[in-house]
């Protein structure tokens, strides 16, 4: 078979014919349509019919699953959860309502929401023995390192929700993960600063409870600023799900082998940690601090544009959005609200970020590559204003994304077409060769 197969649309409706130019052999593949979005070519029969695989590092053109949860139109800057625009959800819902929507497909009624909030709230405590687990970590461990370990360890504590063939157990595990993640993240922070763990308070809402566990101490009453709680809630909504991103795909891939939900979410946390994904918000703040001053923006962007320099403009660019990330606009507004509440009229980092954004958006390099600010460009500035340390930024993202992860994991387990994820490869290593005994080598 030739290496230069070309794809061409066949005349027949909803099929694509791929022709191997070397042999002239053609194979017709079905085309599938979703409710919205581009059609996809069903290549499942490609190997059996042609003996060839497809090559797509980074899955830039490959749909790995069918999903009904989240839709993104990256060219139009649209993000829908179960059909609802993110702008509407961020404006009218709180995080638990969005979590319910994602997990159960519909927005809750008032009674359904009350029950859901009750159930989530009453799962926020973690097994007391888990508190001792933290002591095995070094004090200076990154909270994400602690979270990978502690979340994976949940499978050693909650044996009654490991049977993935039981929908009830799957739902209990999902509730547990959504409920316990703020406690686990807050405790990772408390451990790193040597403060006692703060237990969840059932009288507090999800975001408020999280901030309370992060900042309260047993020594005095700590009241969470409602503007901060609202900002945190919005941040959680904006990060709740984002279809088949790296960490979600990692959760699905790990889960495809039948692994338990706690292990799968720990895998998602590991993937999220990278600076090209969830670690970007931490990297944005580091970058802004490195630039330091508006007068150095030009010099910094020169390095970003230099092919021989690996520097990237963090918080810019997205695999899917080739237009404004709709979450970035909401995040920028929230950023102004938080700084306003704090009475900060001039925040040097925010001003630097805004100037950097303005200059980049007018620069040919970014225009040609369709690079726009993503959700992480402003989130780090809000987190800093809320008093959240840089190392906790990605942990916070993990708290929010857990809802998306468990939703996607449940969908995958229930999908009748689900198979163990097993990509193929283009092998470019040595061909078969004769073994040489060690005495004859060298
Ligand atoms: N700064 C400078 N150049 C960039 C940037 C950036 N932030 N992002 C992409 N480019 C350039 C690339 O160098 C490449 O240029 P070339 O065509 O001349 O080689 C072109 O734009 C395409 O970039 P790719 O890396 O191929 O795009 P990809 O889709 O693989 O990467 C990613 C997307 C990883 C998000 C990338 O834009 C990036 O690294 N951004 C910075 C990190 C970041 O903010 N990540 C957060 C993503 S959102 C999230 O996870 C919530």
Tens digits of residue pLDDT in 374-396: 988 888 888 988 889 988 999 99
Active site residue 318: yes
Q: Are residues 394 and 239 in contact, defined by beta-carbon separation less than 8 angstroms? A: no
Q: Which residue is it, tokens 């360890």?
A: 153
Identify which of 280, 317, 377 to mutate to test ligand 1's pocket (most ligand atoms within 8 A of the CB).
Answer: 317
Q: Are residues 16 and 32 in contact, defined by beta-carbon separation less than 8 angstroms? A: no
Q: Are strands 84-85 and 78-81 parallel, antiparallel or unpaired?
A: antiparallel
Ligand 1 atom closest to 312 (CA) = 1
Q: What mean pLDDT is reported for the chain?
A: 93
Residue nearest to atom 28 of ligand 1 (CA): 319
Could you give the 3-state DSSP secondary structure of residue 149?
A: helix
Ligand 1 binding residues, C-beta < 6 A: 58, 276-278, 280, 304, 312-319, 369, 371, 374-376
Distance 316 CA to ligand 1 centre (A): 7
pTM for the full predicted model: 0.90
Q: Are strands 15-19 and 26-32 parallel, antiparallel or unpaired?
A: antiparallel
In sequence order, the 6+-apart residues with CB closer than 8 A to the CB of 300 are 287, 290, 291, 311, 356
Residue 9 pLDDT level (bands cut at 50, 70, 90): very low
Residue nearest to atom 3 of ligand 1 (CA): 312
pLDDT digits (tens, 9 = 90+) for 200-244: 999 999 999 999 999 999 999 999 999 999 999 999 999 999 999
Reply yes or no on whether the pLDDT at 439 is more than 90. Answer: yes
Distance of CA 101 to the CA centre of its chain: 18
CA pseudo-torsion sign 238, 243, 245, 251: positive
Could you give the 3-state DSSP secondary structure of residue 232?
A: helix
Picking from 252, 240, 239, 247, the residue whose alpha carbon sits closest to that of residue 64 is 252
Reply yes or no on whether the pLDDT at 157 is more than 80. Answer: yes
Q: Are strands 70-73 and 6-9 parallel, antiparallel or unpaired?
A: unpaired
Kindly state the average pLDDT of the residues 50-55. Answer: 94
Q: Give the other-Cβ count within 10 Å of 150's Cβ.
A: 29
Q: Which residue is it, tokens 């039948």?
A: 258
Reply yes or no on whether the pLDDT at 8 is more than 70. Answer: no
CA distance 294 to 184: 38
DSSP H helical ranges for 122-166: 128-133, 143-153
CA distance 164 to 239: 26
Could you give the 3-state DSSP secondary structure of residue 70?
A: strand
Higher pLDDT, 425 or 382: 425
CA distance 197 to 268: 25
Residue 3 pLDDT level (bands cut at 50, 70, 90): very low
Residue nearest to atom 15 of ligand 1 (CA): 369
Reply yes or no on whether the pLDDT at 10 is more than 70. Answer: no
């Amino acid at each position: 078979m030739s290496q230069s197969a070309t794809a061409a649309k066949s005349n027949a409706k909803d099929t694509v014919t791929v022709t191997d130019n070397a042999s002239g052999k053609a194979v017709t593949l079905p085309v599938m349509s979703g409710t919205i979005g581009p059609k996809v070519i069903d290549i499942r029969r490609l190997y059996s019919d042609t003996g060839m695989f497809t090559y797509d590092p980074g899955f830039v053109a490959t749909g790995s699953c069918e999903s009904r949860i989240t839709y993104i139109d990256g060219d139009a800057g649209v993000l829908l959860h179960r059909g609802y625009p993110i702008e509407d959800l961020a404006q009218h819902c709180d995080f638990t309502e969005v979590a319910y929507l994602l997990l159960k497909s519909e927005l809750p009624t008032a009674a359904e929401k009350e029950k859901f909030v009750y159930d989530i709230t009453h799962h926020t405590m973690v097994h007391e023995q888990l508190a001792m687990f933290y002591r095995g970590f070094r004090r200076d461990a990154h909270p994400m390192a602690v979270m990978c370990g502690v979340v994976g360890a949940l499978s050693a504590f909650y044996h009654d929700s490991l049977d993935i063939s039981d929908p009830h157990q799957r739902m209990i595990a999902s509730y547990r993960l959504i409920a316990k993640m703020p406690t686990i993240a807050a405790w990772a922070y408390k451990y790193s600063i040597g403060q006692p763990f703060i237990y969840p308070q059932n009288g507090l809402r999800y975001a408020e409870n999280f901030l309370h566990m992060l900042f309260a101490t047993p020594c005095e009453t700590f009241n969470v600023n409602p503007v901060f709680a609202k900002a945190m809630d919005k941040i959680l909504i904006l990060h709740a799900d984002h279809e088949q991103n790296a960490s979600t795909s990692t959760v699905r891939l790990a889960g495809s082998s039948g692994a338990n939900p706690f292990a799968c979410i720990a895998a998602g946390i590991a993937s999220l940690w990278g600076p090209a994904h969830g670690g970007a918000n931490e990297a944005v703040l580091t970058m802004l601090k490195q630039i330091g001053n508006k007068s150095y923006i030009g010099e910094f962007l020169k390095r970003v544009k230099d092919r021989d320099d690996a520097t990237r403009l963090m918080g810019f660019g997205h695999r899917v959005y080739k237009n404004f990330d709709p979450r970035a606009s909401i995040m920028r507004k929230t950023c102004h609200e938080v700084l306003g509440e704090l009475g900060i009229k001039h925040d040097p980092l925010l001003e630097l970020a805004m100037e950097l954004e303005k200059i980049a958006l007018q620069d040919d390099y970014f225009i040609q590559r369709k690079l726009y600010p993503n959700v992480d460009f402003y989130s780090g500035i809000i987190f800093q204003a809320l008093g959240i340390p840089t190392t906790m930024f990605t942990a916070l993202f993990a708290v929010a994304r857990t809802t998306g992860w468990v939703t996607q994991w449940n969908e995958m387990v229930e999908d009748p077409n689900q198979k163990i994820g097993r990509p193929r490869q283009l092998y470019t290593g040595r061909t078969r060769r004769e073994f040489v005994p060690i005495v004859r080598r060298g």
